[in-house]
Structure formats: C-alpha cells, structure tokens
Amino acid sequence: MKPRFAALLLSLSLAACSPPKEKAGPETLPRIRTEKVEAAAKLLPGDLHLAQPGTLSIAMTVQTLPLADYAHDNEREVVGLEPSIAQLIADSLGLKLKIVPIAWADWPLGLSSGKYDAVMSNVTVTEERKAKYDFSTYRDDKLGIYTRSEGPIKSVTRPEDIAGLKVAVGASTNQSQILDRWNAQNVKAGRKAATPLYFDDSGISRLAVLSGQADVSFGPNAISAYEARDGKTRKVGEFAGGWPLTAYIAVTTRKGSGLAQAITSALNAQIDNGHYGELLARWNLSSEAIKRSETNPPGLPRS
C-alpha cells in the first residue's frame, strides 16, 4: 500500500480518535512581554533597513503547535512558542512585531529579497546556510522517539532497540537518515531491520502509533512533546537533530544585515531574566533549552 494512501485510510478510520483542538492550554495564555534591553538595542546598526520602519517583521510557518498556529478563536492571531519568543526579541530591541505567515519553501527567497527581516520557522543551522544567512540560536534541535503510554517499549537509545519495529517517520528527513543508518548496522550485525512507515503529517504519525499500526514515531521532539501532554504517548528516546552531531534551531537573518548580534544579545537577556525558560516550560520543551544564544555557531556540515 502506498504511504500516502495508507495515511489517508488511517486518518479516516481513526478520525474519532483525533482530539479536538484545545480550548484551554498554553496557547490561551497571554504572551509574555518585556522591557527594552538597551544593550541589545544599541547593537542595531544605524543604517539598518527594516522591511517596515520601526517594526521587526519575522516570517514563520503557521501550521503546528507548539511552534506556531492560529488561535482557535481568532484566525488572525498567531500563537505558539516561536511567536512568543519573537515578541520578546522585538520588545528587547524596542521594535514592534509583525508576524508574516509563509510556506516553508518560500523563506529563503523572501528573506533574501527583504520582504521580511528574519525567519523563525524551526530552521536548523547548517554550514551551507551560513554562507547566505546569519543565525542567532534559541533551541537545541532535538528529535524524539515516542510510543503508546501503555506499550511495552521502554527505551530506544541504540540501533538494536529499533530492530524489527515499525517506525512512523517523515521521508527525506534527518530522522529517516538516522533510521537508515541504524537499519544498516542492524542488518550487518544479523538483526532484523526496522520497517519505516512514511507519513508527511505528524498527527497521522501519532495516530499510527496510537492505533498500533506503528510501534514508535520518530520526528521533531517539539511537536511530539507537546502532543504527549495528554498522556497517551510517552518519550522513549531523544537525539540531537543532527545526530550524532549537535544541531541548533536559530533565528535566521540576511547575511551582514547587522541584526544577528542584536538578536543574540536580546535572546541572552531573556535567558538571564527567566522569560525564556518560562516559555519553554509552558510548551513542555524545557529539554530543548540552551544555556546561551550564539551568533553563527558551527552548523551541520555540507552533505
């Protein structure tokens, strides 16, 4: 059965299992605001050209909590971790915030053309991207392996732990590459390979786990950790998004625009005053917290 057709059948057959959109959760809480941080604002270059004067325009894909989605009662209001951190950055720099909803594939062209000033859309720092853009880190890039809360799987830390399992995973992703490497190691050692089940939608991957079609899901930890708040799934493994290399999620700006150092300073001010940690805890993402924001740290190597 083709993966997309299987996903469609699964979504239809398990529609009753899909929980309604929450009406009482972290997305209903007001954004945390902060005062202007003079030390950060002074790092903005005098000749800075913003897409809209006095406003920091930040583009993001608006489709999935806990990162960013539209409020259940107001389709103009964007809620989630990334708009909340964006608000703290703008406040710190003494600027208004404008969120620009985009499709993921559109961010490089839009940023390069000056349509918006920055991108916050779960963008991982890579050496290839650093040639064109500047980065200010704000989260560890983590991947999570989740299973049914009542299921028998306790821990996944090594290739042998996924031998023979059915794994819901996104095609052509970091996690699918890790799964391929683990399968190769298992086959070489005489163990059974895991069976990948490819789904484009994280919600469908979760339903596959809940229904027993898949034993575990393997994807971005942020989304799975948020979904696990209902107690139906639990984490059994966590890895760096560039496993075995460390990877970071970062605010992305045009190369040489002068924004990166100011944004990094703003982020560190929010780490120091506790707002940053409060936001990650609110969205069940404390495990992805960084100790300090960095400008243009080592990124994942070119493929």
Render pLDDT for 128-185 as a digit per residue (tens, 0 to 9). Answer: 999 999 999 999 999 999 999 999 999 999 999 999 999 999 887 878 888 999 999 9
pLDDT band at 300 (very low <50, low <70, confident <90, very high): confident
For residue 72, what is the DSSP state? T
Q: Residue 159 to residues 171, 239, 242: CA-CA distances in angstroms?
A: 19, 13, 16
The pLDDT mean for the chain works out to 90
Does 26-141+247-288 carry CATH code 3.40.47.10? no
Do 142-240 and 26-141+247-288 fall under one CATH topology? yes
How far, in Å, are 65, 80, 221, 232 from residue 25 at the CA level?
A: 11, 11, 19, 17
What number of residues does the chain have? 303
In words, the CATH class of domain 142-240 is alpha beta
For the chain, give every domain's residue range.
26-141+247-288, 142-240
pLDDT at 25 over 60: yes
Q: At what angle do helices 202-211 and 3-13 cross, to 10 degrees?
A: 70
pLDDT band at 12 (very low <50, low <70, confident <90, very high): very low
Q: What is the pLDDT of residue 201?
A: 81
User: CA angle, corner 152, sides to 151 and 153, nearest 5?
Assistant: 100
